[in-house]
Chain A
Amino acid sequence: MDAEIIAMLGQDGVTNGAIYALLALALVLVFAVTRVIFIPQGEFLAWGALTMAALESGHFPATVWLLVGCGVLTLAVDGFSATGRRSIGRSLLWNLAYPLALAGLLWGLSLAELPTAARVLIALAIVVPMGPMLYRVAFQPVAEAPVLVLLIISVAVHLAMVGLGLLIFGPEGSRTQPFSEAQFELGSLMIGGHTLVVLAASVVLIVALYLFFDRTLYGKALRATAINRNGARLMGISPALAGRLTFFLAAVIGVLSGLLVAPITTIYYDSGFLIGLKGFVAAIIGGLASYPLAAGGAILVGLLESFSSFWASAFKDVIVFTLIIPVLMWRSLTSHHVEEEE
């Protein structure tokens, strides 16, 4: 193993780590605000990537039908518990009119000729709205349930989404075009343009999230909800809105991570789960609470993965997921009071 290989593995590790960092941030965010451990994060990643792949090959992305279906379901749930005509009107707009309009638009466009930026936007426009819809249908009715119930629901949603993914994308995997084909030489090290795109996108997203939480009213509302749900509610912040907004952000992050990762690895309908879980290992390193620790943990996971795939490729997942054990051990040593769990 020479310096060149180390540099190459390091580059791989940091690239993947940046993506895990994004996922870890989203997981920490969702958990802090809604207490949901967001297992389906990986499905947003996979659906984003596969929608992009469909757009690139000029196919009509089947995720649009899922969006329409999700919208109808959300509308139905809204309809059963509607409080006013205005809320139904809004629900109709977002859950029925929007998906159908999007489907019509895509039907009219010749997908194969779109520029990359437009594809990215379309992929986001299709998959991201399913985040808040998912919150509305699966989690909002039980928002006050114990963490463990929310977790089991989360796992159930993940399973259903994997099944749907198989149904609409089939068992074949896809890889998408890198955002940049450029190659840069740095001494003896070749740096791929896509690596830089991934790093830049991650940094931009992280900074944007920071600004959102620090400078905007909605961001502050989410932070308030994360710190004290009841207090925030008494100050007029709707927990339902906070939940939907959080799921929206998580879906954006999920889809963007999917777009970033798809040129590096072939993505299958069920790839999201393992990638998402690695984000989890990172988030757990941060105790599901600290954003910088989670990001640091993500880079660590990425590096560990790339180096272990060099030494013992068959065992790379074993090694990554076993990392969680010393981390948990360290966590359990630092907390020793008997707590009530609910």
Chain B
Amino acid sequence: MNANTQTRAAPGAPSRLSPKLVLGVFLVLLAAAPLVLPEFYVTLLNYVGLSALVALGLVLLTGVGGLTSFGQAAFVGLGGYTTAWLTTAQDLPGWLAFIGSSPWFTLVAGLVITATVAVILGSVTLKLSGHFLPLGTMAWGISLYFLFGNMEFLGGHGGLSGIPPVSLFGYELVNNGQFYYLVWCFVLAALFTTRNLLDSREGRAIRALKGGMVMAESMGVDTSRARMVIFVIAALHACAAGWLYAHLQRFVNPTPFGLHIGIEYLFMAVVGGAGQVWGALVGAGVITVLKQWLQDILPKVFGSAGNFEVIIFGVMMVIVLQRARDGLWPLIAGLVPVREAQKTIDPAATPLVKKPQPPMGETILEAKDVTRKFGGLVANNNMSLSVKAGEILALIGPNGAGKSTMFNQLSGVDTPTSGDVLFRGKSVAGHSSREIAGLGMSRTFQHVRLLPKMTVLENVAIGAHRRGSKGVLPAAWRLDRDEEARLLREAAVQVERVGLKDFMFAEAGSLALGQQRILEIARALCSDPCLLLLDEPAAGLRLKEKQALAELLRRLKSEGMAVLIVEHDMDFVMSLVDRVVVMEFGEKIAEGLPAEIQSNPAVLEAYLGGV
């Protein structure tokens, strides 16, 4: 989070304000607002709060998770109409009438209905690649809108009125000033839980969805589940806003749940800064106030009534996306110099449980006659190799020999056309990379895949995803702190082990390429593997760093780790590994000890083109 503030903050500089102080001032202002502001502004703040709740869901969904939804207004409608119908309908069957007897029961009912609808819509649309999802959300956004307007029992386009007020401990919230506190309690709770969630094991998985799905899957993160989780959370936020809306207005009709309002919610998230929880608040405030203001003045300017504010909103969005894609929050955050709170690592936390390492010499990975064809091209032909515990095997070959394809067959990113891959005696060909990660195989990538805005520590902690178990709810309410401390401790241990201790809290994207490769090794180690697959780990390293890497790999080997390494640096390979497999044109042309390989005529032919 707060990528921007972090880069400018020199931690601990005396001129910076403590985050607790800033938050405290904000809360005091918020609490005092209805006491000092005129009624009109209190009402406006109520609507800002409602919108912020929806926009917050979108921050999680779109800004953090990279899933765009234009249909959130429909979920607001589900929340609003559920409570409206249940609390106003006259002759309901007994159990429905009981639910309708209190708005608090109908809130729960609305959340249950919304979650169900979201799960159904999500399971249909979330698997789709980028642009189909937003188009799908538009479609169901419109469908639900027309359903609200055409259902006889929901009052058609006229809507439902006479919704009772919410009462809290027998005290009815009837005016705007009283309702204000209810709205903002919801908003603050949502802000608090969303921020907590993002700063947790599940949160790291969610933050990996945007731009890190392949990496996250091979670190054992179930990305489809993570997508569903944020989709449902965003829908539930919207539903709660709908419930509040219905009881604030005491009346609902389909208009505020249409697609255009859904688009407006997305605008709020984008204008505010879709990657930041506080951006939702800023965006909701800016758009709501601006809309109010424009609706006042534009009809006077143009001389007729109509929704002319959409012209300004549209133009504003285009400009924001062209000029300041991170939204307004980073600009505002720059004005208030808040000190960045650094994560603490608790060295006393109980270490995570380690899987028992297989005995030295056990065959860990075995590829049998693996063939992979892409159409007519045979990228791998009858490749066989095996790696034992406590052994380093190098896979070398000229460019285009099929090493990376082979790597993908072994790690579950791709499926062999024929042949089999055995991991500790079990066939894993065709299994997902997530399952394979769970068995104890961990890898790095030839083209570094990490989350550049997250710290080194957090990137490494993603590797430990499967070693924790606390889910979304404990994370949202901070019941996961024990486990989180253990995960972070493990991550810190691995960061130190690979020699990146000085960069623990730096953004991963700020590291040199060689260091980023090392970071990937730390992340792989964090998953407690018995086999490491390293794709060109020494590329971009300086001599000293290479020596340190070789030292680390030797140590891992002596602890019983099996390592398969693809590498071009022959000095590095030949002085480090136990055995070498050489590939050319998709086939194995030689296998043996480094010294044998160096004098093998076929290998010399492949590398030097005949001697």
**Is the C-beta of A37 less than 8 angstroms from some C-beta in chain B?**
yes
Q: Mark B244-262, 1 if CB is under 8 A from A, else 0.
A: 0000000000000000100
Bound form: Cα–Cα A74–B91 in Å:
61
**Is the C-beta of B601 less than 8 angstroms from some C-beta in chain A?**
no
A37–B131 contact, CB under 8 A? yes
B267–A318 contact, CB under 8 A? no
**Is the C-beta of A314 less than 8 angstroms from some C-beta in chain B?**
yes
B131–A288 contact, CB under 8 A? yes
Bound form: Cα–Cα A160–B142 in Å:
19
A-B contacts counted at CB < 8 A amount to 157
Within 8 A of A (CB), among B361-414: none
A142–B321 contact, CB under 8 A? yes
B211–A159 contact, CB under 8 A? no
Within 8 A of A (CB), among B292-306: 302, 304, 306
Bound form: Cα–Cα A282–B360 in Å:
60
Of B279-287, B307-315, B350-358, B563-571, which stretch is located at the interface? B307-315
- Per the CB 8 Å criterion, the residue count for chain B at the interface is 54
Question: In this complex, what residue of B is CB-closest to A149?
Answer: B321
Bound form: Cα–Cα A142–B325 in Å:
11
Contact among B127, B132, B308, B321 with A166 in the assembled complex (CB-CB below 8 Å): B308
Which residues of A sit under 8 angstroms from B302, Cβ to Cβ? 167
Contact among B125, B131, B310 with A147 in the assembled complex (CB-CB below 8 Å): B131
**Is the C-beta of B134 less than 8 angstroms from some C-beta in chain A?**
yes
Bound form: Cα–Cα A26–B118 in Å:
32
**Is the C-beta of A227 less than 8 angstroms from some C-beta in chain B?**
no
CB distance from B221 to the nearest CB of A (A): 10
Contact among A142, A171, A338 with B213 in the assembled complex (CB-CB below 8 Å): A338
A341–B130 contact, CB under 8 A? yes
A163–B134 contact, CB under 8 A? no
Q: A152-B266, A277-B139, A321-B140 are in contact. Are A163 and B311 (CB under 8 A)?
A: yes
Within 8 A of A (CB), among B134-172: 134-136, 138-140, 142-143, 146-147, 150
Contact among B129, B139, B223 with A325 in the assembled complex (CB-CB below 8 Å): B139
Residue among A146, A159, A171, A322 having the largest count of chain B Cβ atoms under 10 Å:
A159
Of A50-58, A209-217, A327-335, which stretch is located at the interface? A327-335
A153–B211 contact, CB under 8 A? no
**Is the C-beta of A156 less than 8 angstroms from some C-beta in chain B?**
yes
Contact among B128, B210, B318 with A156 in the assembled complex (CB-CB below 8 Å): B318
B136–A341 contact, CB under 8 A? no
Bound form: Cα–Cα A339–B132 in Å:
14
Which residues of B sit under 8 angstroms from A328, Cβ to Cβ? 124-125, 128, 132, 136
B135–A37 contact, CB under 8 A? yes
Contact among B70, B134, B211 with A340 in the assembled complex (CB-CB below 8 Å): B211
Q: A142-B322, A149-B321, A166-B307 are in contact. Are A156 and B130 (CB under 8 A)?
A: no
Which residues of A sit under 8 angstroms from B213, Cβ to Cβ? 338-341
CB distance from B134 to the nearest CB of A (A): 6
Bound form: Cα–Cα A131–B316 in Å:
20
CB distance from A302 to the nearest CB of B (A): 17
Which residues of B sit under 8 angstroms from A162, Cβ to Cβ? 310
Which residues of A sit under 8 angstroms from B325, Cβ to Cβ? 145, 149
**Is the C-beta of A253 less than 8 angstroms from some C-beta in chain B?**
no
A159–B310 contact, CB under 8 A? yes
B321–A152 contact, CB under 8 A? yes
Question: In this complex, what residue of A is CB-closest to B303?
Answer: A167
Which residues of A sit under 8 angstroms from B321, Cβ to Cβ? 142, 145, 149, 152-153, 156
Bound form: Cα–Cα A252–B518 in Å:
55
Contact among A159, A171, A274 with B313 in the assembled complex (CB-CB below 8 Å): A159
**Is the C-beta of B263 less than 8 angstroms from some C-beta in chain A?**
yes
Bound form: Cα–Cα A68–B382 in Å:
67
CB distance from A14 to the nearest CB of B (A): 23
B318–A157 contact, CB under 8 A? yes
**Is the C-beta of B270 less than 8 angstroms from some C-beta in chain A?**
yes
Bound form: Cα–Cα A303–B433 in Å:
44
B146–A280 contact, CB under 8 A? no
B311–A317 contact, CB under 8 A? no
**Is the C-beta of A158 less than 8 angstroms from some C-beta in chain B?**
yes
B317–A153 contact, CB under 8 A? yes
A331–B132 contact, CB under 8 A? yes
Bound form: Cα–Cα A304–B369 in Å:
52
Contact among A152, A159, A336 with B68 in the assembled complex (CB-CB below 8 Å): A152
Bound form: Cα–Cα A137–B432 in Å:
44
B306–A171 contact, CB under 8 A? yes
Residue among B147, B270, B308, B311 having the largest count of chain A Cβ atoms under 10 Å:
B311
CB distance from A59 to the nearest CB of B (A): 17
B132–A156 contact, CB under 8 A? no
**Is the C-beta of A342 less than 8 angstroms from some C-beta in chain B?**
yes
Q: A332-B127, A342-B211 are in contact. Are A167 and B66 (CB under 8 A)?
A: no
Q: A149-B321, A156-B321, A157-B314 are in contact. Are A338 and B140 (CB under 8 A)?
A: no
B124–A325 contact, CB under 8 A? yes
Q: A318-B143, A325-B139 are in contact. Are A332 and B128 (CB under 8 A)?
A: yes
CB distance from B207 to the nearest CB of A (A): 14
A148–B134 contact, CB under 8 A? yes
**Is the C-beta of A324 less than 8 angstroms from some C-beta in chain B?**
yes
Which residues of B sit under 8 angstroms from A331, Cβ to Cβ? 128, 132
Bound form: Cα–Cα A164–B298 in Å:
12
A332–B124 contact, CB under 8 A? yes
Which residues of A sit under 8 angstroms from B135, Cβ to Cβ? 37, 280, 284, 324
B267–A156 contact, CB under 8 A? yes
Bound form: Cα–Cα A151–B62 in Å:
13
CB distance from A21 to the nearest CB of B (A): 18
A163–B318 contact, CB under 8 A? no
Q: Mark A271-291, 1 if CB is under 8 A from B, else 0.
A: 000100100110010001000
Bound form: Cα–Cα A31–B128 in Å:
16
CB distance from A313 to the nearest CB of B (A): 10
Which residues of B sit under 8 angstroms from A141, Cβ to Cβ? 322
Within 8 A of B (CB), among A138-182: 138, 141-142, 145-149, 151-153, 155-164, 166-167, 170-171
A152–B304 contact, CB under 8 A? no
Bound form: Cα–Cα A158–B315 in Å:
10
Bound form: Cα–Cα A294–B260 in Å:
26
Bound form: Cα–Cα A171–B306 in Å:
8
Contact among B127, B131, B146 with A151 in the assembled complex (CB-CB below 8 Å): B131
Question: In this complex, what residue of B is CB-closest to A163?
Answer: B311
B127–A336 contact, CB under 8 A? yes
CB distance from A131 to the nearest CB of B (A): 16
B130–A148 contact, CB under 8 A? yes
B143–A322 contact, CB under 8 A? yes
Q: Mark B208-227, 1 if CB is under 8 A from A, else 0.
A: 00110110010000010000
B-side residues, CB < 8 A to A, are 62, 66, 68, 70, 121, 124-125, 127-132, 134-136, 138-140, 142-143, 146-147, 150, 210-211, 213-214, 217, 223, 260, 263, 266-267, 270, 302, 304, 306-311, 313-318, 321-322, 325, 432-433
A-side residues, CB < 8 A to B, are 31, 37, 138, 141-142, 145-149, 151-153, 155-164, 166-167, 170-171, 274, 277, 280-281, 284, 288, 314-315, 317-318, 321-322, 324-325, 328-329, 331-332, 335-336, 338-342
Chosen A-B contacts, 9 in total, with CB atoms closer than 8 Å, are: A148-B62, A151-B68, A153-B321, A170-B304, A280-B138, A321-B139, A322-B140, A325-B124, A331-B132
Of all A-B residue pairs in the complex, the 3 with the closest CB atoms, nearest first, are A160-B314, A156-B317, A163-B311
Q: Given contacts A31-B131, A338-B214, could you give 8 more A-B pairs where the C-beta distance is less than 8 Å?
A: A151-B134, A155-B70, A155-B266, A160-B315, A162-B310, A277-B142, A324-B139, A339-B213
